[in-house]
Structure 1
Amino acid sequence: MRTAYLECQMGISGDMTLGALIDAGVDADEIRAGIDSLKLDGVELHVEKVIKGGFAATAVTVKHPEQHAHRHLSDIHEILNRSAVITPSQKELALKIFEAIATAEACVHGSSINKVHFHEVGAIDSIVDIIGAAIGFDLLKVDQVHCSPIPTGYGLINIDHGICPVPAPGTAEILKGIPLQDVPVEAELTTPTGAAIVKVLVDRFGHRPPMTIEQIGYGSGTKTFPQRANLLRLFVGESIETPNQETVTLLETNLDDTTAETIGYSRELLEKAGALDVYSTAIQMKKNRPGTLFSVLCKPSQSDKMKAILFEQTGTLGIRITQLERSILAREVITVDTIYGSIRGKLTNPVGRTAWFQPEFEDCAQAAAKHEVPLREVYRAAQGNFVEPTSQPKTHKTDVHRHDHDHDHDH
């Protein structure tokens, strides 16, 4: 699987991303042609090789006339629609990045994504960086993007709204649900543009995956720091890990004053909101109080939603958050015909083992109630009528219908 890995040891910005893409082999002329097609007066994409911290890298600068426009999302749509060169997929990716920024800014300023102004990100150089990055990643032709935890730096910066701590409010909002790392540099290492690129493009955060490296690109930042090369490193190559490896978030809280009914109700809300799994464990807490460990497994992007439900429903004062790696077997949902009707179930076929079929409880329960037979009889009928794809046909009739989608939560 063709994979890109962003190593953000000194943060990430739009120009660093664009520089790393070009340094890794993306054709700068194709990106430049896309930018030129936007018909932005006086705008020029300047690409040059530089030495940063002793290492060769690519620096990208957007040269443009002075301008003071504060743009809305509708203005970005209009700019993108000028181009007959940028492909629909590239436009869609660029818009997703802008929408991630607009959503964060709307949240911070109590507005809506269509009313919010793009301030620094609405400047021509940021617009070019985002659209150029969208074109570049599309041209890179990777199946997945991985990324290291993101450093933000620390200190104070001056933005349109005055002096703000690092990360700026909009950047911090974009970075929700994304693992951060501590790099003790007093500067803004990750910009709103860089954070939004990561938010939209990255499939998984963590260490560099096992991969055969084909290209490495270095994108230069504008600042210079003592003893640290201000570079974004991009690895591109073939991943040799299983495609069924993924990162999940585990949310846990200890409850000692919550009723069983509240825990059950909270579980239902969490499952409806898309949790991968919700479970509780009896524990002994301090002062010999019996309690409940309430655990929620979810996708990293769902973390904020799950935390909100936990805080609101259980009244807990704190939630522990852990990023976990998990391996999952590929599965598909199939339907088996039985004397009790059609029963759906999950089929997994691990390498080197026979296929394993598990009927769905809901289908079996409905069939058992309808035909007034024990639940176990329906299970037996479904499992007995299942035929492995490579097996010879049995003496009784079996009809297996395959589907490409999963039926319920991915545990």
Structure 2
Amino acid sequence: MSENSPQTAPPVRISVAGSAGTEGYDVLIGHQLLGELPGLIGPAAGGPSAAGKGRVAVLHPEALAGTGEAVREDLAEQGYEAIAIQLPNAEEAKTAEVAAYCWKALGQSGFTRTDTVVGVGGGATTDLAGFVAATWLRGVRWIAVPTTVLGMVDAAVGGKTGINTAEGKNLVGAFHPPAGVLCDLAALDSLGEHDYVSGLAEIIKAGFIADPAILDLIEADPQAARSPRYAHTAELIERAIRVKAEVVSSDLKESGLREILNYGHTLAHAIEKNERYNWRHGAAVSVGMVFAAELGRLAGRLDDATADRHRAVLGAVGLPLTYRGDQWPRLLETMRVDKKSRGDLLRFIVLDGLGKPRVLEGPDPAILLAAYGEVSA
């Protein structure tokens, strides 16, 4: 193996600036990154324990039991008092009951403010791990080790943590930035095709709202882009993370600019809830972006070519473009309690052009219905 190979090259480091009294942190993208964990945990993060360096809780989904245990063992060998906490897979982890189970495990382990939570898994795992860290003793250090495309480019970066309720997705949560994010690209090789393609939706979203070069890379060979072995996979992930890092650095708590990251998500979250979270997040976001594009077009904000490009690029990689036409009343009701809504005023992110996201407040109900008609199966 040459010293310039991807497996031995230094990781790409993207900095997320601190704000609102929080510290900044780095997102590392590369291969063989678990050796970076102790440096992120650090002596300052863990007070002395029976094992010497402090306590670390490794939260992982059932599907990654082997990986979670390997991380725990590695930390234990380095002197940390490490425990592993197994979570349900995917969105089933993001419940108050699972969070309470984690709090109990931390309490039984004697977790203090100087100890560290590590979330190893997809976006649901890092959402839950961050929320547990945010709420235990009013906030302890945590590190994200995302293992999916979605986790790397979206969930693990930005400090949003949360769980779902019966009323909707991510309605309970906290802004609690991690101490660092390790995106080991080797983890993507074990992803199933549907999970990998689902993550592409968030990358494509970054292309439409801020970095059109992403769209060009995918459109150059959409079939190849469906695989982590695509020649431009690392670049796509890096570009998407840079988009999010720049936005989050300017607006941690979604008081303005950060809302643009929710492009396509208002309808997407309603679809996910309607499907009892059996739809992949990226699949729902894909439909949500097509809806947002049609909404922008009908509102006179978006040109036809850019609106049509949504269908073309999303469809080319195999993401869904439609949803059940008879579900509009239920979806509309769910969207009324979306985090972006203000009272009875529905708010959507639309495009005024490629790379020009804006807020659309209180659109005419007839336009909303017409836009949904364009994505109805």
TM-score (norm 1): 0.28
- Which one has the bigger helix percentage? 2
TM-score (norm 2): 0.30
Structure with bigger RCO (C-alpha 8 Å, 6+ apart): 1
- Which one has the bigger strand percentage? 1
